[in-house]
Chains A and B, each alone.
Chain A
């Protein structure tokens, strides 16, 4: 890493996909309730967690983002009935792909958060940031110099 980074501690950069109906509303709930959260996350609102295609997750991780979090409704509660069932399957298979490569397993997570679960949202963010801070920066980040100064 550059010498600038040695003087300030590494700050993880985390990409969060949140589905409009449940988890993004949960994020709003966390905000409205003034729950403290670290500022390391970039949140992208999608209509359903199933809209997130694996290429989005892979692209972000292999270009150096420190973690990707996909948030959706609890299975059974999807606003579109079935979306998150597909998300679940895709997520499991993506995890297995990372297992095959022996990397990135902890940098990709899925969690189900409902609209009422502001606390769960803030806890998820906090936990994710702590975990990724401990893991260190994504080793693929230096290749691109995009996410590192």
Chain B
């Protein structure tokens, strides 16, 4: 498959309007990292394997809007992100040349089992790729694989759990910077006027940071798990994001970012939405 990938990249770079080709290459200590290929002589660096974790679409909003085309390889999850970026007018479809990677699941770093982030995987079946290394459909079994949730924890247990998790958080902002959905040039969490968030490292500040992130991702999180992978402290951010996504499904029938044409849940409403606020206090 890597031969086909390199062939496609090579053909793409021959185009007069090609800006660059974004793919994966080998990194330090056996890892895989993003590669920005501009010259055909560098194409041999491109790889495709089960360690190709980064979501390359996160780089797209940074390219200035221009007439040149950017080649990019996407897995199923990444393609969902791309659809959301297009929907949010951060990327124009005609400015990317999309090569689909027929991913059947990435490996847990350092181990020989499928990574937890891949459980519940759903490909955006309606998306039209410009080329693909194989059929782009949801891998069998992964869509229905059970992943870890907060469901079995009582209220008190959840409180204790997050207190410990956020104690690990070092406010490094890696989760924010690696997330494809965090493309705001001026993030509210950096604002000085007003100063929503200070640099104090107490629980209140950390709760605020992660709550705002989770809420701003509502309906846009694709469950790629990059936030958790980037976190040097191993904070279990996926548990929070997946929890909220499940609520969107149960409450509003929203099936997930970038999969189908469901309207973004916080930008729409129904007159007969559930209303827990009419009666007494819950």
Instruction: Check A-B contact in the complex, CB < 8 A.
Output: yes
**Which of A8-16, A38-46, A88-96 contacts its partner?**
A88-96
Q: How many residues of A contact B (CB 8 A)?
A: 40
Contact residues in A for B274 (Cβ distance below 8 Å) = 92
Are B277 and A97 in contact, CB atoms less than 8 angstroms apart?
no
Contact residues in A for B266 (Cβ distance below 8 Å) = 86, 89-90, 93
Contact indicator per residue, chain B 253-279, by CB within 8 Å of chain A (1) or not (0): 000000000000110011101111110
**Residue of A54, A82, A92, A100 contacting most chain B CB atoms (<10 Å):** A100
Contact indicator per residue, chain A 108-149, by CB within 8 Å of chain B (1) or not (0): 011110000000000000011001000000001001100000
Are A62 and B207 in contact, CB atoms less than 8 angstroms apart?
yes
B164 within 8 A of A: no
Q: Given A86-B269, A93-B247, A100-B150, is A105 in contact with B159 using a C-beta cutoff of 8 Å? A: no
B119 within 8 A of A: no
Are A85 and B276 in contact, CB atoms less than 8 angstroms apart?
no
Are A88 and B212 in contact, CB atoms less than 8 angstroms apart?
no
Are B251 and A92 in contact, CB atoms less than 8 angstroms apart?
yes
A52 within 8 A of B: no
A-B CB pair tally, cutoff 8 Å: 116
- Residue in A74, A101, A128 whose beta carbon sits within 8 Å of that of B207 in the complex: A101
Q: Given A88-B275, A101-B158, is A109 in contact with B205 using a C-beta cutoff of 8 Å? A: no
A85 to chain B, nearest CB (A): 4
**Chain B residue, CB-CB nearest to A94:** B215
A103 within 8 A of B: yes
Contact residues in B for A103 (Cβ distance below 8 Å) = 155, 158-159, 162
Complex CA distance for A102 and B159, rounded to whole angstroms? 5
**Chain A residue, CB-CB nearest to B239:** A100
Interface of B is mostly: helix
Are A111 and B277 in contact, CB atoms less than 8 angstroms apart?
yes
B211 within 8 A of A: yes
Question: Which B138-172 residues have C-beta < 8 A from chain A?
Answer: 150, 153-162
Are A128 and B281 in contact, CB atoms less than 8 angstroms apart?
yes
Q: Given A96-B244, A97-B215, is A55 in contact with B188 using a C-beta cutoff of 8 Å? A: yes
A26 within 8 A of B: no
Interface footprint category on B: 35 or more
A63 within 8 A of B: yes
B59 within 8 A of A: no
Complex CA distance for A110 and B281, rounded to whole angstroms? 8
**Residue of A92, A95, A131, A140 contacting most chain B CB atoms (<10 Å):** A92
Q: Given A58-B211, A86-B269, A96-B244, is A102 in contact with B204 using a C-beta cutoff of 8 Å? A: no
Contact residues in B for A59 (Cβ distance below 8 Å) = 196, 208
**With A85-B270, A109-B282 already in contact, 14 other A-B pairs whose C-beta atoms are closer than 8 Å:** A55-B188, A62-B205, A62-B211, A74-B278, A82-B269, A85-B273, A88-B277, A89-B273, A92-B276, A96-B243, A106-B281, A127-B280, A127-B281, A140-B207
**Would you mind naming 25 contact pairs between A and B with Cβ atoms under 8 Å apart?**
A54-B212, A58-B207, A62-B204, A62-B205, A62-B207, A76-B271, A85-B269, A85-B273, A86-B266, A88-B269, A89-B273, A93-B215, A95-B282, A96-B251, A97-B244, A101-B158, A101-B211, A102-B154, A102-B156, A102-B161, A106-B281, A106-B282, A131-B281, A140-B204, A144-B204
| Residues of A that sit less than 8 Å from B by CB | 54-55, 58-59, 62-64, 74-76, 82, 85-86, 88-97, 99-103, 105-106, 109-112, 127-128, 131, 140, 143-144
